[in-house]
Amino acid sequence: MTDPTHTPGPADAEAADVERSVLAQIFAEFALFVEPARAAADPWRRNQLLRALGWDLGPLIGYDSQAFQEWADGIGKAVTDAAEAAADLPRDSLKGYKAAFEKLGAAAGPVKALPPRVGGEVPDELYETMLGDLLDYLPTAYLARRARWTLPAAVMLGVATLAADQENPSPPMPPGDNPIRLPRRRAGFDLGRLIDLLSDPGAYFRALYVPEGMDTPEAIDAAAARIFPKAAALLRGLGLDAAYGVKPGVGPDLGADGERLAGHLLSVRARVPDGAGDEVELGATFGLGLIEGRPALIVVPRIAAHVVGRAGGWNVSGDMDVSAEAFAFGPGGVTVAGADPAVRVAAEVARISAPDEPAWVVGAPDGVHLAVGELVLALRAALGTGRDDIEIGVRAGRAEVVIAGGDGDGFVKRVLPHEKVSVPFELGVAWSHRAGLHLTGAAGLIAEFPVHATVLGISPETVRIGVEASLADEAVTAWATTTLSVRVGGLTAVIEDVGLAADLTFPDEGGNLGKANLAPRFKPPSGLGLHLVLGVVDGGGYLSIDEPRGMYSGAFQFGMASSIAPGSSGFRLQAVAVLNTKTADGRPFTERDGSESYSLLVSGSFQWRPGLVLPAGITLTGLGAIVGLNRRANLEELRNATRSRSLDAVLFPADPVGNAPNVIATLGRMFPPDPTGTLVGIMARLEWLAGTVRADLGIMIEFPEPIRLVVLGRLVINFQEAGRFQLDVVGTLDPGAGEVSLDGSLVDSKLFGRPVSGDMALRLRWKGEKNFAVSIGGFHPAFPKPTGFPDLKRFSINLNKSGDLFRVEAYLAVTSNSVQFGGALYLHFAFWELVVDGRAWLDALIQFKPFWLTAELGATVSVKWGDKTLLALTLLIGISGPGPWRAHGEVTVHLLFWDISKRFDKVLGDPTEENRPTFVNAADLLLDALKQPGTWDVATPGGGGEMAALSTPELPAGQVLMHPGATLGVRQNLLPLGVDLDRLGTSRVQGPRRFDITSFTVGGEAGGLGDTIDDYYAPGQFFDLTQAEMVERPQSERRAAGRRLVAPAGTDVPDAALTVFTTAGDDGSYDRIIIDDPDTAARPMGDAVPAHHAARDGAGRDGDGRAFGDGLLAVFAGNGPAANARTRTSGPARFAAPPLAARIDHPERPDHSTDHSEVS
């Protein structure tokens, strides 16, 4: 009650403002609550709402935009009127507040009315159900938008249920082919459960999360599966990093028990930054378990800290990670388990320069010098981890040796390179308690650069400076060498890597430098090459010995001078060999069994002229072979070789001796050492039209598993002055990965003297993520590159003249569901300060299923004087459709100071006219597909032995043959399971739209469902996609196609009705013996066949002439030699599952007949 004598003051005005703000906030939240319904007038938002509700109003009111507009306008008006009326109500009494909330309740009326023509057209039961759908969806959507943690909290309390957590989809309403309420899993909201929660919280949560109790490991796992996923979602909503379980296939193999335990753990982390870069991380792992038969919550805490700072010119950083014991909280109190806490510490003090300048420079900045960009002092410690260790070290990072003439005298400037040559490296030294003194980073550096000098006919071609460390010899070696080329008449000699070296060691007895010993020595050459031209004879050889790396290589060639030129006669024999006895890190090369071995690669060819004439005017002018022991092909390096002319090293190299270092290095990258494989291949050179067309082909195979076929090819078409085209290709066939690939590039190609370039690629995969794509020059700009597809350069022709540019580009691509093509024309012209740039382009994409296309044609040109744009013109027009057909365009003109722009976006045809699509009943098609024998997925056991087949029986129609130990499943590729379908191809789905396998029976007994069987489906075939999604979404997506089936407990061998019997001859034809051990003699088996099976003829019939199949398999399985062998119950056989025979009963048909698909 108010006081009439009270005089209002500032405090009263402030209180009134608070009251008004509270009411305004309440009505604002209500407006946000009903916002999905208010926005239903917009077509896109309306479709989103109907999809979320699972309603199909087409059979009832169509897609009448006016009806939804009236409904949305009514809701909006009610909310606005209620808010305005409540603003005028008195707030100094309870009656005023009551009236305000009555206005709020009245505003909810239009929401419950549903769109016009719904209430009077559907039965009351369906109307109430649909109203419940809306009233469940609105709070769920509101909480999801309002705060991230509110919806997970409601789910945790059991008040809300997410659609994904619903066990089964709702039935269609009304039943039939045109339901309005579709069979969906929907979110639920039941505030009435708060009464049960508040009245008896303990009983409420026990019924919600532990209905089976918590006294068995299975019940514990079930409780964790109910509690922890919801807790993780709630913690993530609160901003913490929380995760439940582990991802299958990620991380180490934990085994079956380990995967089960790790799959029920809750991991939580919280990072607490202080704003200055420091950060502390608190975390824990939670699990449920049994301690002495009683349930307990197990907690493993973890603390991590990260600190950063700066002291003078040094950066300081530190990390600490502490893992403590596990604590178990249960009815018996707190139990502590585990060893001492594990502590990990890492600290660094670093001096780091800016990216473009070094921290320290030793030597002349413009000449030869050493530059170090980072100097890091590090400390690391691990205590209580089982491998305690402390390490202290110093590391030089972003370091480089820079070599240049600088300010030296004339001779130095002439000998050293004109341009600076920099060799980056990283090197460090550290001491640890376990490893002692050792080197870190790159324990060596090698620099190589050209030299421009000739003295007395001797030409130093390269100079190499290196520092290497040998951990095995505990020595550091520095050396400086050169590669010399000496020419005497027709003889050319190359001496590789000859010079001086110095070894720095640390012997126990000391050396000439105190505790160290420095020993200079002559470094003999590691390679020697000779090339002799004597009249018509042309030959040479190369040999390289690199003992520290365990690499020995050589090249050889011999033949007639100019022997391989078109129109000449003669021959050339050449070969290259590489032998490796060590791995890249200096360890001995070993086989898979650990024994020391080697890796050898030999490539050779023989070319001759005039060659062997083949049909169609083709001439064979060369043959070759390649053999690699303990070698495999590096596919990425081979594919890159098509773009860098590196295939020259394999396909008939022009000068293997003169280019021996490069050829040998390239072969080593293409076919690196690998103890798991062997490589064998052949090569051929073919010519046509007197050498105008030349094709080099190499076919190689890798074995053993994985077996791969590799094809190398080169096609050269030489039209002399008109042009020359060279296409290098690499193809692979990988049956294990289920993939065919082809990569190619135009190399050194010209048309009338103008460069021509471009890439192409093909990928076909039939295992895993199935896809197909072939492209010349790339894809449509908006099309996502398929998985595993390389980046391709456009096919282009450069018509350059002086500084101008005139380039034409084009591309063509075909995928499993699209065709794409297009091109562009580029123009650049410059004269003094005048610059003209132009571009015209065409991009088109055609999708097959469902049919859809988009095309865009445009042009732009600009004229500049210096940096000032005088004229700019852009023209653009595009079309896309159907659904609906749209045309768009743009015209933009810039002239000096004026800008004119006009755009249009028009729907072609009548936008209100509905297309008349065809309809298909997906349920009928799926049922027909499941009746096919090919639907059964029989997985042969991986660890079992081979079956002995005495004959191959002819199966009755509709049956499949099954291994007794196989795993049975059902799979179909008609449509994806577990998702809502919009279409099948170009037809709309009529009737049920979502399908799942929920149960199956074996002989009338209910079986269980195992893992999901996945397959790949094209999304455009099953879902309505937007124009952007049609272009950007992957061609295929992995979705459920079936399930593995688990037979019920006690399932035995099949009965006679499900067993195929065949006559194998009289028992007298076989000796029945038992073999318990391959090293012991067999023992005969007694006659254990029951008497009622003894009286039968040799044809497998009893005395009355009837087939005796009943029970025969069971008798033989229980009494045959295999059943009596001890190996049946020892070794791995102890864990083998019993044989499975399955009979799948389909649901009864409308005529009450039952169809049985039988599996034998």
What pLDDT score was predicted for residue 418? Answer: 53
For residue 679, which of 642, 712, 645, 646 has the smallest C-alpha distance?
A: 712
- Three-class SS of residue 520? strand
Q: Predicted confidence band at 803 (pLDDT cuts at 50, 70, 90)? A: low
- Three-class SS of residue 182? coil
> What Cα–Cα distance (Å) separates residue 452 from each residue in 158, 341, 463, 493?
82, 64, 10, 18
What pLDDT score was predicted for residue 632? Answer: 93
> What pLDDT, in 10s, does the model give residues 903-955?
888 888 655 444 556 788 899 899 888 888 888 887 765 444 445 555 566 66
- Give the integer Cα–Cα distance in Å for 289 and 262: 12
State the average pLDDT for the chain: 76
Q: Predicted confidence band at 745 (pLDDT cuts at 50, 70, 90)? A: very high
Q: Which helix (H) or strand (E) holds 218?
A: helix 217-237
What pLDDT score was predicted for residue 776? Answer: 96
What pLDDT score was predicted for residue 746? Answer: 94
For residue 664, which of 563, 526, 571 has the smallest C-alpha distance?
A: 526
Q: Is the pLDDT of residue 1089 over 60?
A: no
> What pLDDT, in 10s, does the model give residues 441-489?
444 456 666 665 666 667 776 777 777 766 556 778 888 888 777 777 7
What are residue 273's phi and psi, to 5 degrees? -80, 155
> What pLDDT, in 10s, does the model give residues 298-346?
888 877 776 666 666 667 777 777 666 677 777 766 676 654 566 677 7
Q: Is the pLDDT of residue 670 over 90?
A: yes
Predicted model pTM = 0.53
Q: Is the pLDDT of residue 831 over 80?
A: yes
Q: 189: which 2 tokens?
A: 């909201």
> What Cα–Cα distance (Å) separates residue 583 from each residue in 548, 579, 596, 765?
11, 11, 11, 33
Asked, as a colleague might, if the bond just before 610 is cis with ω within 30 of 0, I would say yes
More confident residue, 98 or 493: 493
Q: 230: which 2 tokens?
A: 């919801």
The sign one gets for the Cα dihedral 733, 735, 736, 741 is positive
Q: Predicted confidence band at 623 (pLDDT cuts at 50, 70, 90)? A: very high
Q: Is the pLDDT of residue 552 over 80?
A: yes
- Give the integer Cα–Cα distance in Å for 242 and 267: 5
Q: Is the pLDDT of residue 364 over 70?
A: no
- Give the integer Cα–Cα distance in Å for 276 and 284: 25
> What pLDDT, in 10s, does the model give residues 564-594?
555 667 899 999 999 999 887 677 888 877 7
Contact 417, 404 (CB under 8 A): yes
What pLDDT score was predicted for residue 256? Answer: 56
- Three-class SS of residue 107? helix
Asked, as a colleague might, if the bond just before 790 is cis with ω within 30 of 0, I would say no
- End-to-end CA distance of the chain: give it in Å, rounded: 88
What pLDDT score was predicted for residue 1025? Answer: 78
> What pLDDT, in 10s, does the model give residues 241-283?
888 876 554 444 555 555 666 677 888 887 766 555 556 677 8
> What pLDDT, in 10s, does the model give residues 116-129?
656 556 777 877 88
Which amino acid, residue 154? A
What pLDDT score was predicted for residue 24? Answer: 65
> What pLDDT, in 10s, does the model give residues 420-434?
656 566 667 777 766
Q: Predicted confidence band at 1136 (pLDDT cuts at 50, 70, 90)? A: very low
What pLDDT score was predicted for residue 449? Answer: 61
Which residue is listed with tokens 């011999």?
Answer: 558
> What pLDDT, in 10s, does the model give residues 695-744?
999 999 999 888 999 999 999 999 888 889 999 999 999 998 889 999 99
More confident residue, 24 or 543: 543
Q: Predicted confidence band at 236 (pLDDT cuts at 50, 70, 90)? A: confident
Least confident of 128-132, 639-643, 853-857: 128-132
Q: Predicted confidence band at 79 (pLDDT cuts at 50, 70, 90)? A: confident
Q: Predicted confidence band at 811 (pLDDT cuts at 50, 70, 90)? A: very high
Which residue is listed with tokens 């690629």?
Answer: 761
Contact 559, 548 (CB under 8 A): no
For 376, other C-beta atoms within 10 Å of its C-beta total: 19
- What is the share, in percent, of the chain residues with pLDDT greater than 70? 68
What pLDDT score was predicted for residue 1150? Answer: 37
What pLDDT score was predicted for residue 1131? Answer: 47
Cα of 232 vs its chain's centroid, Å: 26
Which residues does 1120 contact at the CB level (< 8 Å), separation at least 6?
A: 1072, 1085
More confident residue, 252 or 803: 803
Burial class (CB in 10 A: 0-12, 13-18, 19+), 818: buried
Residue ranges covered by each domain of the chain: 18-208, 210-338, 526-757, 769-910, 919-1145
- Give the integer Cα–Cα distance in Å for 272 and 278: 9
What pLDDT score was predicted for residue 397? Answer: 72
Contact 385, 344 (CB under 8 A): yes
For 1122, other C-beta atoms within 10 Å of its C-beta total: 12
What pLDDT score was predicted for residue 466? Answer: 75
